[in-house]
């Protein structure tokens, strides 16, 4: 190929495609290598976007079946049309993927179909599914290959009855019994989808709590909410094996994490959701000498540069939370850095959301982390049971919790459990981005009646006290 690109990105997920667009906006000649037939990576194709389509649809199904009557809406019991629900998911994915394709064309970004292998600094070999490989010359390379589902030793994934998140989004019927291995974000989100549609869901978690890494008070209260919704939990437990039966069902061997008597659980489908691992296969990193860390992630400096000049990495393939928006921000930052600008990501103010019902959203430090770091903090809390809009919406589950420095009043972290928590968290993200104090938020007028008033009330409670409780 005669073209010499300013930047070649391997992977078109949120990190890769955003980096490409920003680099093109800055006047760079950009190519993106993508092995799949569609752009958007895991997030748009088999992750964030399709799961949110099913989460929303299943919430509507549950609300129609159980929530309408109290609002004075009398309808017959809803009937699940799973093929149509899956069609909605597919159409949602197609619209988002098509949007990225349009943006590439608009920004004159070259798409190269195939597996990208770095053969030397400034050279990427693109191997398509059929036909000859092509070597691309480029001034800089960004690795944005993302992550894949982590597996369990001795457990074979067939994406039919023993599935990852990919297979859980493609089930052709509602399983009678769904066993979820792992009580993290993916397991709880997909578990809740199928629970709402009629599955009996049991979650097995190795640790003694759900949602590792999130605020422990939030996790405890949220587990109770999920149990009221019918989900069962076996904590401090591990899956020792899965045996497929002649009738297609599963026998799952579960043991206490610290050892003890085994029990057998019946399941129709088992979802392995124990986390994700960086995807570096076939990149040729060992050939060019790109260093990895002890967890198989690409090592980078504060400017996303690897151990080899001209090669950079972003997103799930490097250290940090495996979040699409974290990858996007790194994509923008690396494009700006390569253009001589001061690209930057504030890792202390990256929100995280669990898209269950109610949602969980958090930003900054947890109470557990502040205790461990010996930071003197204060807590402001406000329940949605005392919020007028929440009462009107029959959405009184949950609360807002804000953590602030005792001496400076600076907000250090925030956690929301409730309807639309993922939308409400962002005023706290902005506040923290500007190193704001709880008083700043408490003195900001919030429209009435809104769910967001609970955020202000939590901030008020850090000072002279909340008004409505």
- How much helix, strand and coil, in percent to the nearest 5, is found in the chain? 35, 25, 40
Model pLDDT for residues 289-302, shown as the tens digit of each residue? 999 999 999 999 99
Diameter over CA atoms, the chain: 71
Q: Which pTM was predicted?
A: 0.96
Question: In what helix (H) or strand (E) does residue 140 lie, and over which residues does it extend?
Answer: strand 134-143
How far apart are the C-alpha atoms of 357 and 61, rounded to whole Å?
13
How far apart are the C-alpha atoms of 434 and 357, rounded to whole Å?
30
Nearest CA to 397 out of 159, 256, 224, 272 is that of: 224
Is 88 noted as a catalytic residue in this protein? Answer: no
- Which is it for strands 162-163 and 269-272: parallel, antiparallel or unpaired? parallel
Contact 87, 81 (CB under 8 A): no
Contact 338, 140 (CB under 8 A): yes
pLDDT value for 2: 57
pLDDT value for 138: 98
Distance of CA 411 to the CA centre of its chain: 24
Residue 162: how many CA atoms within 13 Å on its side-chain side? Answer: 17
Q: Which residue of the set 66, 303, 426, 448 is catalytic?
A: 448
The verdict on whether omega for the bond into residue 458 sits within 30 degrees of 0, i.e. cis, is: no
How far apart are the C-alpha atoms of 227 and 225, rounded to whole Å?
5
Backbone angles phi, psi at 433, to 5 degrees: -60, -30
Contact 303, 288 (CB under 8 A): no
The residues of the chain scoring below 70 in pLDDT are: 1-2
How far apart are the C-alpha atoms of 270 and 181, rounded to whole Å?
7
Q: Helix H segments across 67-151?
A: 82-106
Distance of CA 109 to the CA centre of its chain: 27
Model pLDDT for residues 389-411, shown as the tens digit of each residue? 999 999 999 999 999 999 999 99
Contact 396, 384 (CB under 8 A): yes
9 CB contacts (<8 Å, ≥6 apart)?
Answer: 16, 19, 20, 30, 31, 32, 33, 141, 142, 144
Contact 59, 85 (CB under 8 A): no
């Amino acid at each position: 190929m005669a073209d010499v690109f300013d930047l070649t990105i391997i992977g078109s997920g949120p990190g890769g495609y955003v980096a490409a667009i920003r680099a093109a906006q800055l006047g760079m000649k950009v190519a993106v290598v993508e092995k799949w037939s569609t752009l958007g990576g895991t997030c748009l194709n088999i992750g964030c976007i399709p799961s949110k389509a099913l989460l929303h649809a299943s919430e509507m199904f549950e609300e129609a079946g159980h929530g309408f009557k109290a609002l004075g809406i009398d309808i017959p019991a809803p009937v699940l049309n799973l093929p149509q629900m899956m069609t909605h998911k597919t159409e949602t994915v197609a619209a988002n993927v098509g949007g990225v394709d349009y943006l590439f064309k608009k920004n004159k970004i070259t798409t190269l179909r195939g597996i990208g292998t770095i053969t030397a600094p400034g050279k990427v070999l693109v191997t398509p599914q059929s036909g000859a490989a092509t070597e691309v010359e480029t001034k800089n390379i960004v690795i944005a290959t993302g992550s894949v589902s982590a597996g369990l030793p001795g457990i074979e994934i067939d994406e039919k009855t023993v599935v990852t998140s990919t297979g859980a989004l493609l089930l052709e019927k509602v399983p009678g019994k769904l066993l979820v291995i792992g009580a993290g974000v993916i397991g709880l989100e997909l578990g809740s989808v199928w629970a709402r549609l009629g599955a009996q869901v049991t979650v097995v978690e190795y640790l003694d709590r759900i949602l590792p890494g999130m605020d422990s008070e939030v996790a405890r209260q949220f587990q109770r909410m999920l149990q009221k919704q019918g989900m069962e939990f076996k904590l401090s437990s591990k899956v020792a094996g899965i045996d497929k039966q002649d009738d297609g069902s599963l026998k799952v061997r579960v043991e206490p994490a610290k050892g003890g008597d085994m029990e057998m659980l019946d399941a129709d489908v088992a979802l392995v959701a124990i986390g994700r691992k960086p995807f570096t296969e076939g990149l040729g990193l060992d050939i060019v000498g790109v260093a990895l860390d002890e967890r198989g992630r690409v090592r980078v400096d504060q400017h996303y540069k690897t151990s080899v000049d001209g090669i950079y990495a972003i997103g799930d393939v490097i250290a940090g939370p495996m979040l699409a928006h974290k990858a996007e921000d790194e994509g923008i930052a690396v494009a700006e850095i390569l253009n001589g600008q001061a690209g930057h990501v504030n890792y202390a103010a990256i929100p995280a959301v669990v898209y269950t019902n109610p949602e969980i959203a958090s930003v900054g430090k947890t109470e557990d982390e502040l205790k461990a770091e010996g930071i003197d903090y204060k807590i402001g809390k406000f329940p949605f049971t005392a919020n007028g809009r929440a009462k009107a919406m029959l959405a009184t589950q949950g609360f807002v919790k804000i953590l602030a420095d005792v001496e400076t009043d600076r907000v250090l972290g925030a956690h929301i459990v409730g309807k639309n928590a993922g939308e409400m968290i962002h005023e706290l993200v902005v506040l923290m981005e500007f190193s704001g104090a709880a008083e700043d938020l408490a003195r900001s007028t919030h429209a009435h009646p809104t769910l967001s008033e609970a955020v202000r009330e939590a901030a008020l409670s850090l000072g002279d006290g909340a008004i409505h409780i």
